Each structure stands twice: as C-alpha cells, then as structure tokens.
Amino acid sequence: MKSIYLFFLLSLNICAQENIVFKDTLNNDNVTAIKNGKFGLYREGQTTIFEYDSIHLPHYVPEFCEYLFAKKDLWGVIDLDGNTLIPYEYDFIGYTHISVKSKEVVLIQKNNKLGTVNIKNKITVPIKYDAISIWVEAGPEAHYVMNAGKMGLIEYNGKEILPIIYDSLYYYTNHVVKGKLNNKFGVVNNKNKTVIPFIYDALIVDIDYMGIEEYGHKDIFVVKKDDRWDYLNMDGSIYKMGIQEIEIRKQYAKFELTNYDFEYVGYCLVKPKK
C-alpha cells in the first residue's frame, strides 16, 4: 500500500509539471519557466508562482544577468528571486547595456515617449524623446535623440550636448560632428560651434582613426557645392580645389557618398514600441 501511495504522489508531481516549459537557468540556480501562458521563477523543491505575463533577460547570456525585465500588465524589473527593483509602470523596457558610473540603466517607454532609468528607479534621461540611441560603435559617450524628426545629442544624464535641431548627426570626435541642417551639410564640435558651415550639398569626413597619418594620410573634409568638389583642411580652409568627380568616386566609393554614417545612426535608434 505504501508503494502505491508513493507512486500516486510521484504521478501527481509529474502531472503538475508536465505543462511547464523551462527556459533559462540563472546564476542563482533559478530557472525562468512558463506554465499556461504565465511566467515564473522555478527552483527544484520550491513552489513556483506563475504570476508574470512575460520575463525577458537583459543580456543574451543568462549567467551574466543580475536582474530581469518582467511584465504584469506593464513592465518593471525584478531581481533573480523575484523581488521588485523597478515598479511595473512602463509600457516597454529595453536593453541599453550602458553603465553610468558603474550603475546600469535601462531604456524605458511611457506614453509613447522614451528615456532611461537606473536600477533604483531613478530617471537618468527624461522620458520625452521620440527616439534614442542605445549603443553606437566608436560613438560618443552619449545618446543620439530625436523629437519631431530632428536630432540632437545628450549625455547619459540627460544634459544637452547638441540641440535637437539637426536633420542628421554623426559623431566622429569631440571636434568633428558631421551634421545636416536645412538640407545642407556641415560640421560642428561637441560645444555646438561650427567647424564647417552648413552650406554644402555633400560632405565626407576623411580622418585618421588607425594611426596611419605617419604613413602619409592627411585628415580632410571632402565637400561638394554647386557641382564642384573641394578638399578642406580641418580648420575649414581650402586644401585642394576642383577635384574631379571620378577621383571622388574612386577614392570614397558608394559607402561614403551615400552618407552611410547617418544611416548607421538610424540603425542604432530605438523608437517607441506599439
């Protein structure tokens, strides 16, 4: 009789778990799991409460995660044991992977606007932007942001670097930020002082990233105005005038001529989720 009873209990346990789908093992040995469309944190031998609409990892590798994005109607953040770190009050929470003075911040969306918040639920970038960049390779320690179709640059604490007045931007260095304003190209620095006036129909930034200047490379701006191409020095003065179009195309090909720098920033922008 005892053996039959133990078999009955074991059968109940198997039946109770057979609808559970196990997902990611976390670094505290909890496992994210789904049952009947609800998410929970499962641990062997403990009762699992499936109370979340969704759980997402902030990193691709579960072992690196110290917290989780969780949804109960709205999104918040929990630790690996399910304790609430950021209340469930956001329409969307995204992945920034940005560390500000060793404190991670995450992307948030509320009322169709975007900003960032740290893991203690303190707003770091006000929730007021139509789009915001997360991470840009070789980019500034800052966010590109957009409102009403115009772009600017802000620090991670929300302080403005470049006003939101530009059609497009691409940061090369603190002294060279390529921009487009009123359908003309120019260059500003990180103090928003004009380096190259916004009078050109095309502009290519050709600067030394790899330390090759000693081998004969010269930093220049390649500009086009009224169907004429010129090379400019970094201070905006003329280096060479009247460059043939065939030379420009041979030297810079389609990649630079089509403003791939601006296009790349566009790829890095996050817009509100519907």
Amino acid 14: pLDDT = 42
Residue with tokens 């390529």: 178
What pTM does this model have? Answer: 0.84
Q: Is the pLDDT of residue 8 over 50?
A: no
pLDDT class of 6 with cuts at 50, 70, 90: very low
Task: Say what the pLDDT of residue 11 is.
Answer: 39
Q: What is the pLDDT of residue 74?
A: 97
Structural contact between residues 123 and 105, judged by C-beta atoms closer than 8 angstroms: no
Instruction: Tell which wins on pLDDT, 59 or 270.
Output: 270
Q: Please indicate whether residue 214 or residue 25 has the higher confidence score (pLDDT).
A: 25
- pLDDT tens, 43-65? 988 899 999 999 998 877 777 78
Whether the CB-CB separation of 53 and 47 falls below 8 Å is answered with no
- Residue 80 in contact with residue 41, Cβ under 8 Å? yes
Mean pLDDT of the chain: 88
How high is the pLDDT of residue 210? 54
Judge whether residue 7 has pLDDT over 50: no
Tokens of 48: 């699992």
> Could you tell me where the DSSP H helices lie in the chain?
2-17, 245-257, 260-268
Query: What tokens does 172 get?
Result: 């090369």
Q: Which of 39-53, 57-71, 97-111, 223-237 has the lowest mean pLDDT?
A: 97-111
234, two tokens: 């970094």
Give the pLDDT confidence score for residue 10 in this predicted structure.
38
Strands 228-232 and 220-225: antiparallel
Cα 101 to chain centroid distance, Å, stands at 18
* Higher-scoring residue by pLDDT: 84, 9: 84
The pLDDT, as a whole number, for residue 236 is 95
Per-residue confidence at 102, pLDDT binned at 50, 70, 90? Answer: low
Domain ranges of the chain: 1-90, 128-274
Tell me the pairing of strands 54-56 and 220-225: unpaired
Q: What is the predicted pLDDT for the residue at 98?
A: 60
Rg over CA atoms, the chain: 26
- C-alpha–C-alpha distance, residues 176 and 142, integer Å: 15
Q: Which token pair is 50? A: 């499936």
Structure-model confidence comparison of residues 228 and 15, the more confident one? 228
Residues 6+ apart with CB under 8 A from 171: 136, 139, 140, 142, 153, 177, 190
- Report d(CA 265, CA 85) in Å as an integer: 31
**pLDDT classification of 215: cutoffs 50, 70, 90:** low
Give the pLDDT mean for 168-185.
Answer: 96
16-20, 76-80, 169-173: which has the minimum mean pLDDT? 16-20
For residue 176, give the nearest of 156, 151, 154, 205 by alpha carbon.
205
